Structure 1
Amino acid sequence: MNRRSALAAFGAGLALTLAACGGGGAGSSSGDSTGSSGDTSDITVGVAMPTQTSERWIADGNNVKAGLEKAGYKVDLQYANDDIPTQSQQIDQMITKGDKLLIVAAIDGTALSSQLSSAAAAGIKVISYDRLIRGSADVDFYVSFDNYKVGQQQGTSLLTGLGLLNPDGSKGTATGPFNVELFAGSLDDNNAQFFWDGAIDAIQPFIDSGQVVVKSGQTKIDQAATLRWQQEVAQKRMEDLLTSAYNDGSKVDGVLSPYDGISRGIITALQNAGYGTGAQKIPVITGQDAEIASVKLINDGVQYSTIFKDTRKLAEQVVTASTAILEGQEPEANDTETYDNGVKVVPSYLLESEPVTKENVTSALVDTGYYTQAEVDAGKAGS
C-alpha cells in the first residue's frame, strides 16, 4: 500500500476513531460548541502550509485535508511558497471568509501576531502545526513531534555512523578524532533550535573529549543556520567550508544535517569535491523527514540516515484536536510544560519519530505503507 491508498485507509480509520471517541481524547466541555454535533458541512477549516518545495509539506497538506473532509468539514488549504507576506494574506482571507478554525504551519514563527489577534477577536481558534508560532497569546494548541528528541536522534545517529557509539547506545570501537561539520535549520523556525539543542547535547561530550573535532570552528547555531532550510544554501556553505577549513588535505568524516534537503545539498558539494570516488568515502551524513530522494541515497549507501516523522499520524492527531475544538472541548495534550512561545506555554501533543538507516528502510518505510519498494528503488514518489 503506497501513500495514496494509505490516505483512503487513514481517512476511513479516522472516521471510525472519531465516531468511537466522540472527538478522540477530548476532555470536558469548555464552552459553547463551535459546530454542532451533527452536520459539520457548513464548517470550513483553514489550513495554511508553508511551501510546496518540500514533499513532506505536500504530504502534510494532503493528509490533513483528507482527514478533515472525512470528518465532514470543508477545507481551505493554502500553500505560501515560503513567502511570509503571502502566508499572512492567506490567513487574513481565511479569517475574512469566516473559517471556523485555523491550522497553521508558519514560515516564520514570529510573523503572524496580527493575524492571530484578528482570529481571536473573531472567536477563531488556532492550532500551530509542527512549527510553533511564537510571540502570541492567541495560539490555542500545538501538534508536533518531540523535536528535542528528533535532534538527539540525529546526533546519536551521527555518532553511530562514525562508530563512536553502537546502535544500542553503548560505546563503539572507534576512537577518532573525526572531523565533523554542523548544520542547523532556519532560525525563523522554532523547531530549528530544538533540533540543534538535542543534537548538540548528544555530540558535545565527544567534542569535549577530542573524539569529534569541528575543524571550521563553527559550533554556534547562528553560524550553522540554513535560511529557509534551502538545499542550495546548504550546498554553498559546505563548499565554503571545504575551501576554508579543508584546504590542507584533511577530510570531512561526518556532517550533522537537520533535514534531507540540506543533506542533499551537502552531498552535492562533497561529490563535486571528489568525495565518493576512489578511496574517498562520502562522510556520515544525517537528515530528517525521510524524503524519497534521500531514502534512495540511504538505500544506496550515500546518505547515512534520516529521521522518519510519520505525517499520517501527525495529520490524524491534528484532526482529532480540531474536532475537539470545534465541538467546544479541550483537545488532549501530552505536554503542557515544554513549548513556551515567549508569551505563554502552549498545550501540545507530541508524537514519536524513528531513525532510519539502510538497515531498517524496509521495515520503517515500506512495510508501513509510507513508500513502495519501487518508489525507494527509483527515488521518486509515484513510481
Structure 2
Amino acid sequence: MWIKKIAAVMLAAFVGFTMTGCNAITIDGEEGSLTAGESGGNGNIGFSVSTLNNPFFVTLSEGAEAKAEKEGVELIVVDAGDDAAKQTSDIEDLISRNISVLIVNPVDSDAVAPAVQDAVSRGIKVISVDRVVNGVEVDCAIASDNVEGARMATEYMVSLVGEGAKTAEIEGVPGASATIDRGEGFHIVADEKLDVVSSQTANFSRSEGMTVMENMLQADSDIKGVFAHNDEMALGAVEAIGNRDIVVVGFDATDDALTAIKEGRMAATVAQKPDLMGETAVDTAIKLINGETVEKEIPVEVELITK
C-alpha cells in the first residue's frame, strides 16, 4: 500500500509541474512568460487585414505579399471582413501559430487592443499599418498622414463650392483611426469655411455610401459638396447624385476613383500608396526578426489628385 501511495504522490507532483511549465510558456501572462520586446516565434509573419472587400486593402495586402515572396519569408494573411470580433479571433489564431511578427490593420482601433496586447505580452513584435492601435505601444506604426490629406481635400472643395456652401461628410467605420483622423482634417477646414449640414457613417462601403447620400439629399437638396472618407463611399455618393451639380471628393486614389475624376464625376481624391505601405510593413517585420532597430513611426506621403 505504501508503495502505491508514494507512486500516486510522485505522479501528482509530476502532473502539477508539467502543467505549471506549460502555463509559463503559452498561457501565463506573468511569471515565466516572455517579456515584451523579447524576440521569439518561428520566423513567420502574420498579417491581419481589416477587409479584402475593398480595393485599397487588397493593394495593401498585395504589396505585403510581393515583398514577402521576394524576400523568401512566410506571410500569413487573414481577412477580418470588417468584423472587429473576427479580427480578435484571427489574431489569437496567429498567436497560436507561433508567429514572430504581427502586422495589424485594425477594423476598430480600440476593439483590437486586447488581442494586440496579448501578442505583445508573448514576445511577438507588432506593426500597425494604415490605422493605429489605441492604448498599446507597438514596435512600429506605418501610416499616411490622414489628417493632412483630408485637410488638403477640403481646402480644394472650398475652392470649388465657395465659402459657406452646404456640404456633407460621409464617414468611415466608427472607431477606425482613419475615420477619426480624416474627420479631424475635414473639420479643421469645414467648421471654419463651410456649412456642414450632415455627417453620417457608411462604413467605407460603396453601397452604403450610395444609400447614405440618397438620404442626405432627401433631407437637404441644396448640398453643394461632399467629402467621403474613402473612394468607395465617394463612388457610392456619385451614383446617388446622378446629374446633380455636386462636388465629390474622396480618399485613397483607387483606380475607379481616378477614372471618375477623369470623367468629371468626382472632383478629387487623396493618393496614398497602399502597396508601398504593405511592402514597408514586411520589410520592417524582417528587420525586427533580425534584431534590428526600426523607427517607431514611418509616415507615407499623400498627395491631392485632381483632373
Report the TM-score, using the length of structure 1 for normalisation. 0.66
Matched, 1:105 2:105: yes
| 3-state SS, counterpart of residue 67 of structure 2 | helix
Among 202, 205, 208, which residue is 1:233 paired with? 208
Q: Is the Cα contact below 8 Å between 2:234 and 2:250 reproduced in 1?
A: yes
Aligned-residue offset at 1:87: 1.6
Q: Is the Cα contact below 8 Å between 2:210 and 2:239 reproduced in 1?
A: yes
Aligned-residue offset at 1:101: 0.4
**Matched AA of 1:261:** E
Taking the aligned partners of 1:125 and 1:354, their CA distance within structure 2 comes to: 31
1:57 counterpart residue number? 57
Q: Is the Cα contact below 8 Å between 2:205 and 2:232 reproduced in 1?
A: yes
| 3-state SS, counterpart of residue 183 of structure 1 | strand
Matched, 1:159 2:134: no
| 3-state SS, counterpart of residue 317 of structure 1 | helix
More helix by share: 2
2:231 counterpart residue number? 260
| 3-state SS, counterpart of residue 76 of structure 2 | strand
Aligned-residue offset at 1:177: 4.7
| 3-state SS, counterpart of residue 267 of structure 2 | coil
Taking the aligned partners of 2:141 and 2:200, their CA distance within structure 1 comes to: 24
Q: Deviations over 1:11-32 (max 9, x none)?
A: xxxxxxxxxxxxxxxxxxxx87
1:187-198 aligned at under 5 Å gives the runs: 187-198=174-185
Aligned-residue offset at 1:33: 6.3
Q: Deviations over 1:115-163 (max 9, x none)?
A: 22321232101111111111334x222100111111112212212333x
Taking the aligned partners of 2:289 and 2:164, their CA distance within structure 1 comes to: 55
Taking the aligned partners of 1:67 and 1:129, their CA distance within structure 2 comes to: 15
Instruction: Say which structure, 1 or 2, has more relative contact order (CA 8 Å, 6+ apart).
Output: 1
| 3-state SS, counterpart of residue 127 of structure 1 | strand
Matched, 1:213 2:184: no
Relative to structure 1, is the Cα distance of residues 114 and 177 closer, same or farther in structure 2, using a 3 angstrom cutoff? closer
**Matched AA of 1:213:** D
| 3-state SS, counterpart of residue 78 of structure 2 | strand
**Matched AA of 1:93:** D
Number of equivalences: 272
Taking the aligned partners of 1:237 and 1:312, their CA distance within structure 2 comes to: 29
Report the TM-score, using the length of structure 2 for normalisation. 0.82
| 3-state SS, counterpart of residue 203 of structure 2 | helix
Taking the aligned partners of 2:227 and 2:151, their CA distance within structure 1 comes to: 11
Taking the aligned partners of 2:92 and 2:256, their CA distance within structure 1 comes to: 35
Taking the aligned partners of 1:316 and 1:51, their CA distance within structure 2 comes to: 18
Q: Is the Cα contact below 8 Å between 2:169 and 2:200 reproduced in 1?
A: no
**Matched AA of 2:206:** Q
Q: Is the Cα contact below 8 Å between 2:171 and 2:183 reproduced in 1?
A: yes
Q: Is the Cα contact below 8 Å between 1:65 and 1:75 reproduced in 2?
A: yes
**Matched AA of 1:294:** A
Relative to structure 1, is the Cα distance of residues 143 and 245 closer, same or farther in structure 2, using a 3 angstrom cutoff? same
Which has the larger Rg?
2
Taking the aligned partners of 2:59 and 2:50, their CA distance within structure 1 comes to: 12
1:71 counterpart residue number? 71
Q: Is the Cα contact below 8 Å between 1:34 and 1:328 reproduced in 2?
A: no
Taking the aligned partners of 1:151 and 1:90, their CA distance within structure 2 comes to: 31
Q: Deviations over 1:62-98 (max 9, x none)?
A: 1112112322311111112112222222111111111
1:318-357 aligned at under 5 Å gives the runs: 318-332=281-295, 347-357=296-306
**Matched AA of 1:306:** T
Taking the aligned partners of 1:90 and 1:288, their CA distance within structure 2 comes to: 28
Taking the aligned partners of 1:270 and 1:303, their CA distance within structure 2 comes to: 11
Aligned-residue offset at 1:184: 2.3
Aligned-residue offset at 1:299: 0.7
| 3-state SS, counterpart of residue 66 of structure 2 | helix
Matched, 1:133 2:120: no
Q: Is the Cα contact below 8 Å between 1:305 and 1:355 reproduced in 2?
A: yes
Aligned-residue offset at 1:288: 0.9
1:308 counterpart residue number? 271
Q: Is the Cα contact below 8 Å between 1:187 and 1:225 reproduced in 2?
A: no
1:116-131 aligned at under 5 Å gives the runs: 116-131=116-131
Relative to structure 1, is the Cα distance of residues 55 and 178 closer, same or farther in structure 2, using a 3 angstrom cutoff? same
